[in-house]
Amino acid sequence: DTGVSQDPRHKITKRGQNVTFRCDPISEHNRLYWYRQTLGQGPEFLTYFQNEAQLEKSRLLSDRFSAERPKGSFSTLEIQRTEQGDSAMYLCASQGDATSGFFGPGTRLTVL
Amino acid sequence: DQQVKQNSPSLSVQEGRISILNCDYTNSMFDYFLWYKKYPAEGPTFLISISSIKDKNEDGRFTVFLNKSAKHLSLHIVPSQPGDSAVYFCAASPGNQFYFGTGTSLTVIP
């Protein structure tokens, strides 16, 4: 399967804990995006990488959120001191130079 | 500030008929538009796209129309099939990220 993969698919955590999600993009894609989707809403942009460089961050991405893409391959999204409002589906998408964005299956986070 | 709007949260269509999903946008810097289809508990799946230099793009049963002067695009599915039942998201990009609408839930009735 050469699509975008995300791990884990589901994460349940207690408020105040740290969580980390991983995204493996399509290998030849140089752009990688993180989005968050809550019930009844469309995906909301969080951050964007061009290779290993993080080029843009949304206002939604508070100081508790950090994303990395070492070596321009896989990416991680970490949320520190989780809050109940962080409960959402976290989506990763990758894009090549002349292609549309391809999304992974998402990681559903539940903060108790 | 919702830059991409899908004003119809749901749509029901008989199998075999045409489904028309609409999307409006406000940012004139958007130059690339996409439609995604989403099933429950899955990530969005790319369906069809259109560049701002075109006004129509077809792919099988799916056609996207772009009216730049009205800042409006639409997705036509014909003929509609029960397997098309899903939530459809419109997205627009100025080049560095995608802005999504809130989705339209399409139900195709057999």
When CB atoms are compared, the residue of A42, A56, A103 closest to B43 is: A103
CB atoms within 10 A of CB A80: 14
Q: Residues 36 to 75 of B: which have CB under 8 A from any A CB?
A: 36, 41-46, 49
Q: What H or E segment, with its residue span, contains residue A80?
A: none
What is the spatial distance between Cα B70 and Cα B39, in angstroms, rounded to a whole number? 30
B86, B106 in Cβ contact below 8 A? yes
Confidence at residue A39, expressed as pLDDT on a 0 to 100 scale: 87
* pLDDT tens string A3-38: 999 999 999 999 999 999 999 999 889 999 999 999
CB atoms within 10 A of CB B39: 11
Q: What percent of chain A has pLDDT over 70?
A: 96
Over its length of 110 residues, how does chain B's per-residue pLDDT go in tens digits? 789 999 999 999 999 999 999 999 999 999 999 999 999 878 899 999 999 999 999 999 999 999 999 999 999 999 999 999 999 999 999 877 889 999 999 999 99
Please give the DSSP secondary-structure letter assigned to residue A41. Answer: S
Q: Which residues of B touch A4 (CB under 8 A)?
A: 43
Confidence at residue A98, expressed as pLDDT on a 0 to 100 scale: 67
> pLDDT class for A69, splitting at 50, 70, 90?
very high
What is the spatial distance between Cα B93 and Cα B61, in angstroms, rounded to a whole number? 24
Confidence at residue A1, expressed as pLDDT on a 0 to 100 scale: 53
Nearest in space to B48 (alpha carbons), one of B83, B7, B76, B69? B76
When CB atoms are compared, the residue of B41, B97, B101 closest to A33 is: B97
Residues 6+ apart with CB under 8 A from A32: A23, A25, A48, A49, A69, A75, A92, A93, A94, A95
pLDDT at residue A72 tops 90: no
pLDDT higher at B22 or A72: B22
Assess B99–A contact: CB distance below 8 Å, yes or no. Answer: yes
Confidence at residue A97, expressed as pLDDT on a 0 to 100 scale: 75
A40-54, A89-103, B19-33: which range is least confident on average? A89-103
Confidence at residue B49, expressed as pLDDT on a 0 to 100 scale: 93
Confidence at residue B70, expressed as pLDDT on a 0 to 100 scale: 96
User: In angstroms, what CA-CA distances link B57 with A91, A96, B23, B33, B49?
Assistant: 27, 20, 15, 11, 7
* pLDDT tens string A11-20: 999 999 999 9
